[in-house]
Every structure is written in C-alpha cells, then in structure tokens.
Amino acid sequence: MALEPTPFLSVTIPIYNEQDNIPALWGRLSAALAPFDARGWEVIFTDDGSKDASLKLLLDLAKAEPRIRVVEFNRNYGQHAAVFGALAEAKGEIIVTLDADLQNPPEEIPKLVAKIEEGFDVVGGWRQGREENDSLFRRLPSKLVNAITRRTTGVKLHDYGCMLRAYRREVVDAMLLCKERSSFIPALANSFAKRIAEVPVAHAERAAGDSKYGLWKLINLQFDLVTSFSLLPLQMLSVFGVVISGISLAFSLGLLIYRFVHPEGTVNGVFTLFAILFFFVGCMFLALGLLGEYIGRIYTEVRDRPRYMIKKVHGGE
C-alpha cells in the first residue's frame, strides 16, 4: 500500500440508525467536498451499532469511494463516543464534525474551514432559525445546557450543542489524549483552544427518522457536562451549608432573645420544627445525590474500560 498523503480535510459523522438519511447525506456532502478535491479530503463514518441497514449502506459507499472509511462499533456507545471513534481515525489537518440527519447542512463546511484558515483553532456553528425546526421540549434543555456550559467553561459561545464544528489537528490530538468517558466534545475542545470563533449556520428539520435524544439522555448529558468540567456543584454545596448554618444560628439567637424578652410567651415549636426539618431532609437528599453522581463517575473512570470497541475499520485500502 502506497503511503497516502495527509488529507487537508476530514469529515467525521456518527451514524445510529440513519438508513433513510445516508443517501441524501452523501449526495449533498460529496457536492460540498468537491471544492477540496485538490487539497484532499476524507470522510469517516462511525457506525454506532445501528440495527437498520445503515452499516450496509455505508460499506457500499466505502466500496465505491476510497476516500470514505467506516469505523464499525460492536454495539451502541452513544453519539460522543461515536464521534471520538471517528476522530481517532481522522488524519486531516482540519477536522469537521457533522450530524447525519442533515440538520446541519453540509454546504456550510467551506464556511467553517475558511474561518479556521483565518487562524482560529475551533470554529463552532451557531444554529439559526432553530425555533421553526425543533420542539420547545428539545430547545429548553439546550438553552439550559448552553447557559451552564457558558458558566462552567467560561467561554462565551451562543451554541454549544451544534455538532457542525471544525477543529485544528492539534485540538483533536489533545482531545484524544483525554481518557475520560463522559465527555462533551464541544466543551472539551474549547478547553484546548486559544482562538475560538462561531459562524452562523443554517439549521433544518431532521430529514428522516427520530431524534436519538430523549429527556433522560439529555439530563445525563447535562450531568456529564457539569461534573466533568467543574467542581462547581460540590463547591455550591459547601457555600449552601455555610449559608444554612448562618441562618439557623441567627434563628436560634433570635429565639433565645425572645425567651428573655417574653418569658411568659409560648412558641408552637412542633410545626416550625417539622417545616424546617423537611426542608433539610430535602437538601440532604439533593446533596447525597450530587455526591453520588461524582462517585459514580469516579467509579466508571477508575474501571478504565475502553470508551468503545471497534469491530472493524472498513475502506481506505
């Protein structure tokens, strides 16, 4: 096998049960990549354990086009693991991540690449017109994710959830060194980049099939994000504890003074006590849950299992 020159551009796409989107995706993507023919490009699909005909369609594509490679996972590991699988395979100087459902138009890729070439390390897409395409139910959690990520990472971007993003080689190499399982790629990338830009990109409705994210998966992603990028929740607990003890100290002092001032007065203490007690019981559960969240994550990290298992890498021979 002749040593291939490094391609200029790698496009990485996670695929989980997207058989109805793959033909249209490839049609539009190949047209969008044509301007990069001279400098060289490659496309890496990860089949994240699809149960439909996706893998077969991808293998057919790879057979017809040598610049396509397919990383086949042995089961479903989730979107971010799938993207990682493709990133590890990508050889390009600039790496673009893209979703398969055509919500991010492949036609925007040249725009991202041009921005990177202006000297940025990471360029994120900022989805325009999301209101018309995603349900409120799907948008609200995203809003929350964005707000919390802005806080915890300290990088002010409009849209963290958009997976249409471009990275420089060095940023991807740094990300690949991170062994933690629960990672949120856009936030992780920003922690290794100096110059970050955002370009507005169009956003469409999912072309076919259903979103793979239910409420539960989104909540999980949110926990990933908060616990893997900051110790903020733990620190908040201590702050909360200090505030609460301060208040109860003041409260007891107040009661003591009241006793001295009105020695004859009676306070119906039982109900007050119950109210306060139940409040604290709630807080304790919250605190325990948060601690458990961290401990659970430590547990998964120390087991140090691989993030994914590749069954086979197809194509590119």
Smaller CB separation from Mg ion, 92 or 124? 124
Cα dist from 143 to 149, 161, 218, whole Å:
10, 9, 12
Is there a contact between 103 and 206 (Cβ–Cβ < 8 Å)?
yes
The Cα–Cα gap between 99 and 87 comes to 14
Residue 16 binds which of Mg ion, ligand UDP, none (CB < 5-8 A, kind-dependent): ligand UDP
Residue matched to tokens 């903020």: 232
Candidate ranges 67-75, 100-108, 135-143, 282-290; the one touching Mg ion (CB under 5 A)? 100-108
- The reply on whether position 48 binds Mg ion by CB under 5 A is no
Among 103, 153, 183, 227, indicate the residue that binds Mg ion (CB under 5 A): 103
- Binding residues with Mg ion: total (CB under 5 A): 2
How far is residue 190 CA from its own chain's centroid? Answer: 12
The Cα–Cα gap between 112 and 97 comes to 11
Smaller CB separation from ligand UDP, 75 or 303? 75
The Cα–Cα gap between 274 and 280 comes to 10
Question: DSSP string of 125-141?
Answer: EEE--HHHHS-HHHHHH
- The reply on whether position 18 binds Mg ion by CB under 5 A is no
Is there a contact between 159 and 122 (Cβ–Cβ < 8 Å)?
no
Cα dist from 273 to 216, 241, 253, whole Å:
36, 18, 16
Least Å from the CB of residue 56 to Mg ion: 22
Among 47, 48, 101, 159, indicate the residue that binds Mg ion (CB under 5 A): 101
Binding site for ligand UDP (CB under 6 A): 14-16, 18, 48, 76, 78-79, 82, 99-101, 103, 206, 211-213
Q: Which string of x and - marks every residue 60-99 that binds Mg ion (by CB under 5 A)?
A: ----------------------------------------
Residues that bind Mg ion (CB under 5 A): 101, 103
